[in-house]
């Protein structure tokens, strides 16, 4: 049996190609859907993580979540050939997190020619604000952006 893996970033056409395979009668396993079912409310993975790692979520994990969300928000406004780097990141932890699904929502407050400000709220599954982060990003162009 031949097995084919479809990989790529968001918006690359994986779902379109998988649908084409399904229409052609080729069995398709959607790993993203499987992971979402494990990670979602009532999912087995969340329970296992809570059992194996009791206690609060480490602040560094919340910081990584916020950093990723803010980076996606900032990068969405870049032009072709541009990249960016984070100059500064600050986070306020407002509430401990134990066994909860988290949602990070980031927005660009100001994106100037060179420097921009982003912020992110992290909300738990009870819609309570867990942490708020701000970051300063610098847009890179030309040689600075090459390979980043």
Please report which confidence band the pLDDT of residue 76 belongs to, taking 50, 70 and 90 as the band edges. very high
| Integer Cα distance of 70 and 131 in angstroms | 13
CA angle 118, 120, 122 (to 5 degrees): 170
Give yes or no: residues 129 and 81 share one domain.
yes
34: left (phi over 0), alpha (psi -120 to 50) or beta: alpha
Residues 124 and 99 sit within 8 Å (Cβ to Cβ): no
CA 59 to chain centre: 16
Number of domains in the chain: 2
Is residue 34, in this structure, part of any structural domain at all? yes
In Å, how far from its chain's centre is CA 54? Answer: 23
31, 92: one domain: no
Same domain, 122 and 68: yes
Are both 72 and 109 inside the same structural domain? Answer: yes
* Within-domain flag for 54: no
Each residue of 97-147: pLDDT tens digit? 987 889 999 999 999 999 999 999 999 999 999 999 999 999 998 877 766
- Is residue 134 domain-shared with residue 79, that is, in the same domain? yes
Domain that residue 34 falls in: 14-39
What's the CA gap between 11 and 125, in Å, rounded? 27
pLDDT value at 47 more than 90: no
100 plus 68 within the same structural domain? yes
- For residues 142 and 101, give the distance between their C-alpha atoms in angstroms, rounded to a whole number: 40
Average pLDDT over residues 70-94: 93
Task: Check whether residue 96 and residue 26 sit in a common domain.
Answer: no
CA distance 74 to 140: 12
């Amino acid at each position: 049996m031949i097995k084919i893996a479809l990989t790529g970033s968001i918006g690359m056409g994986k779902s379109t190609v998988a649908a084409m395979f399904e229409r052609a009668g080729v069995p398709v396993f959607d790993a993203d859907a499987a992971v979402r079912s494990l990670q979602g409310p009532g999912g087995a993975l969340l329970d296992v993580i809570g059992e194996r790692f009791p206690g609060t979520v480490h602040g560094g994990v919340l910081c990584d979540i916020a950093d990723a969300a803010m980076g996606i928000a900032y990068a969405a406004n870049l032009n072709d050939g541009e990249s960016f780097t984070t100059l500064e990141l600050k986070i306020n932890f407002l509430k401990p997190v134990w066994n909860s699904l988290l949602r990070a929502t980031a927005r660009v407050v100001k994106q100037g020619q060179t420097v921009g400000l982003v912020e992110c709220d992290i909300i738990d599954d009870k819609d309570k604000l867990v942490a708020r982060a701000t970051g300063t990003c610098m847009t890179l162009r030309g040689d600075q952006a090459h390979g980043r």
